[in-house]
Amino acid sequence: MEPITTALAAFAAVQKAVSLIKEASQTAQDVASLGPLIGNYFDAKHQAVKAVKETKKSGGSNMGKAIEIELALKAQADFEEQLKGLFFPNNMDVWESIQERVRAMDQEDKIAARAARDRAKRLQEEKDEMIEIVVVVMAVVLLFGMVGFGMYMIYDSRQPVRWSAKK
């Protein structure tokens, strides 16, 4: 599936989550009851952002799809401001705690991604080093084999030839 199609499908999932939250917020008695729906929204948003990154990596120029994606991103930012309004003024401390937790988790994700990149780089370096070691060992074995064969040939050529005729 093309990255643009994936991004648009992810945005459709986000829009569905938004509509569910809006419907539930009208009948919900407190913000805590919206927790699972809000969690689903942010999961869908995360998938959409990942799809947008893949779309940007894939290159090419498709102005209509690009505009559609950017407008969807803007709509998500606007919705998050509306979501913040659900917490204001009575539950603003909860909203701030959520934002602090998000920042901490984002930082942990960055650290984990960096560690994974470093680990992959280190494994590649170890692999390259092992290949170099094998090549050097093979070259040394070949060199010793050639020197040994050369010495054998020299030693063998210095032996007198013995012809014996039996009568």
What per-residue confidence (pLDDT) applies to 49? 73
DSSP string, 98-155: HHHHHHHHHHHHHHHHHHHHHHHHHHHHHHHHHHHHHHHHHHHHHHHHHHHHHHHHHH
Share of the chain above pLDDT 70, in %: 72
CA distances from 33 to 29, 39, 65 (A): 7, 11, 36
- pLDDT 10s digits, 86-143: 666 677 777 788 788 888 988 998 999 999 999 999 999 999 999 999 999 999 999 9
Q: Is residue 40 scored above 70 in pLDDT? A: yes
Q: Is residue 156 scored above 70 in pLDDT? A: yes
